[in-house]
């Protein structure tokens, strides 16, 4: 009994000491957490212009500006379109240390996107107190048609690795070269190019030198009607066409041709004449950035009348559109045939990759059997549309959306090699 009575004051003493120590640690923790106005500096590194449909890198740099270790949880101000809510970064930084975080932003549409402020919860090493800090890092970036794809395909076309990525190396047929100059014969020159008149005058072998015929007019024509609003892998068919147009016109300009742009739906939109000037690529990029889908039917009659008035020389017309029914194709066919009489018309339209998955997947139920049959019927319909266009003498590219750029470039190189333009 005396022992128990004796232990009460001791236990009370221990409890008081513990309470004082905890209070002191908490007070110290509060002082450490709130001692600096800006204990962490955060810097976001992201390009002002991002590429549509590509993984654009974003980097965060977090630096401890104090003389003490800091534990923190950082919540990035992701663009709303990323749908990121729970992602955060936690770490403990030594005094003066810097930590980097990397992630990627894949925009699904063109336009302006806003990164918000960064929210940080700061704790000291004792974890007895915390503090929230909002770091003002609001930043607006613009999403343009994919420059990343443009540069990648430019390298594929003009370097030796092109066949491994789907770009075909096509042998030139016929003769669509133009005379450049007369030069001295060197070993390896073709004997049939010897210029005998110049050889007799100079008393030494002279040959004609030719260069690939250039400065042909190339127009990309983009359908902005509602049939281009269908989405695959987060991008609409319009955006696939816009990315491909940027890639394709860059290749055409690099090959010495003149590139122009047309857009239309129920009305004529952008009309950019074909040029080879230094600023043409920039003008095309700015024009593509501002294109928006019109939820109306495509007016092919108006397109034909506008092209007939404004494009007087024989040109290559690459028309990006989409036909979901034979009726829609046959309604446009008379105008397409008229365009093809004066120009070289290439109609590019889309296969449905989701239908392919449905058609080829193993059927495990009666419903999946029906779905597969309908999908196969729709795929056959697309093939019939392409066959009908070719039967009317119109160059046709039926492609999956993610193979659009490769197939369009291959068709262009094929027509160049054949001398069709």
Residue extents of the structural domains in the chain: 35-144, 147-172+214-418, 177-212
At 32, is the pLDDT very low, low, confident or very high (cuts 50, 70, 90)?
low
Q: What is the 3-state secondary structure (H, E, C) of 3-31?
A: HHHHHHHHHHHHHHHHHHHHHHHHHHHHH
Per-residue confidence (pLDDT) for residue 366, from 0 to 100:
67
> Is residue 409 over pLDDT 80?
yes
Distance CA 415, CA 421 (A): 7
The Cα–Cα gap between 373 and 334 comes to: 32
What is the C-alpha to C-alpha distance for residues 392 and 311, in angstroms, rounded to an integer? Answer: 22
- Say if domain 35-144 classifies as CATH 2.60.40.10: yes
Going by pLDDT thresholds of 50, 70 and 90, the confidence category of residue 212 is low
Higher local confidence (pLDDT), 352 or 73? 73
Q: Residues in the chain, how many?
A: 421
Q: Residue 405 in contact with residue 345, Cβ under 8 Å? A: no
Q: Are 236 and 229 in contact (CB under 8 A)?
A: yes
Q: What is the pLDDT of residues 159-185, one digit of tens each?
A: 654 555 566 655 544 444 555 577 788
- Average pLDDT, integer, range 218-244: 92
* Model confidence at 114: pLDDT above 90: yes
Separation of alpha carbons 192 and 124, rounded Å = 84
Would you say 147 and 110 are in contact if contact means Cβ atoms under 8 Å apart?
no
Burial class (CB in 10 A: 0-12, 13-18, 19+), 51: buried
Q: Hey, what are 115's tokens?
A: 């990164």
Give percent above pLDDT 70 in the chain. 79
The per-residue DSSP string of 115-183 comes to E--EEEEEE-TT-S-EEEEEE---EEEEEES-HHHHHHHHHHHHSTTGGGGT-------S--EEEEEEE
Model pLDDT, residue 375: 64
Residue partners of 158: CB distance under 8 A and separation at least 6: 254
Q: Hey, what CATH topology would domain 147-172+214-418 get?
A: Rossmann fold (3.40.50)
Tell me what pLDDT residue 306 has.
95
Q: What is the chain's mean pLDDT, rounded?
A: 83
CA 196 to chain CA centroid, Å, is 53
Quick one: which of 242, 50, 59 has its CA closest to 141? 50
Number of other CB atoms surrounding residue 68 within 10 Å: 15
> What confidence score (pLDDT) does residue 369 get?
64
Q: Which residues pair with 268 in a beta bridge?
A: 264
Q: Which residue has the higher pLDDT, 180 or 64?
A: 64
Query: Are domains 35-144 and 147-172+214-418 of this chain identical in fold?
Result: no
């Amino acid at each position: 009994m005396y022992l128990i009575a004796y232990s009460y004051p001791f236990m009370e003493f221990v409890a008081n000491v513990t309470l004082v120590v905890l209070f002191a640690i908490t007070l110290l923790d509060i002082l450490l957490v709130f001692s600096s106005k800006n204990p962490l500096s955060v810097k976001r590194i992201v390009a002002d212009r991002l590429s549509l449909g590509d993984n654009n890198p974003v980097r965060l740099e977090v630096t401890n500006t104090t003389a003490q270790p800091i534990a923190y949880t950082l919540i990035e101000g992701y663009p709303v379109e990323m749908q990121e809510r729970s992602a955060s970064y936690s770490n403990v930084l030594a005094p003066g240390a810097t930590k980097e975080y990397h992630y990627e932003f894949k925009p699904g549409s063109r336009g302006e996107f806003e990164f918000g402020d960064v929210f940080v919860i700061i704790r000291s090493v004792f974890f007895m107190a915390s503090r929230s800090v909002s770091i003002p890092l609001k930043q607006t970036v613009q999403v343009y048609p994919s420059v990343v794809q443009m540069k990648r395909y430019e390298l594929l076309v003009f370097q030796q690795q092109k066949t491994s990525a789907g770009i075909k190396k096509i042998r030139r047929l016929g003769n669509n070269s133009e005379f450049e100059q007369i030069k001295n014969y060197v070993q390896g020159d073709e004997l049939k190019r010897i210029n005998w008149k110049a050889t007799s005058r100079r008393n030494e072998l002279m040959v004609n030198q030719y260069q690939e015929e250039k400065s042909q007019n190339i127009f990309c024509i983009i359908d902005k009607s509602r049939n281009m609003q269908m989405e695959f892998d987060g991008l609409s068919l319009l955006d696939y066409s816009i990315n491909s147009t940027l890639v394709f016109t860059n290749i055409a300009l690099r090959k010495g041709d003149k590139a122009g742009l047309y857009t239309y739906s129920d009305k004529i939109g952008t009309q950019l004449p074909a040029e080879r000037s230094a600023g043409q690529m920039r003008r095309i990029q700015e024009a593509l950035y501002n294109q928006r889908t019109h939820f109306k039917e495509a007016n092919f009659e108006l397109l034909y009348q506008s092209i007939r008035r404004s494009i007087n020389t024989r040109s290559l017309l690459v028309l990006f559109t989409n036909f979901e029914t034979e009726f829609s194709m046959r309604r446009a066919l008379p105008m397409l045939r008229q365009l093809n009489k004066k120009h070289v018309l290439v109609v590019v339209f889309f296969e449905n990759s989701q239908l392919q998955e449905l058609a080829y997947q193993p059927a495990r139920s009666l419903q999946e059997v029906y779905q597969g049959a309908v999908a196969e019927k729709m795929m056959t319909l697309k093939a019939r549309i392409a066959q009908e266009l070719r039967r009317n003498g119109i160059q046709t590219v039926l492609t999956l959306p993610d193979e659009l750029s490769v197939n369009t470039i291959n068709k262009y190189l094929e027509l160049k090699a054949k001398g069709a333009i």
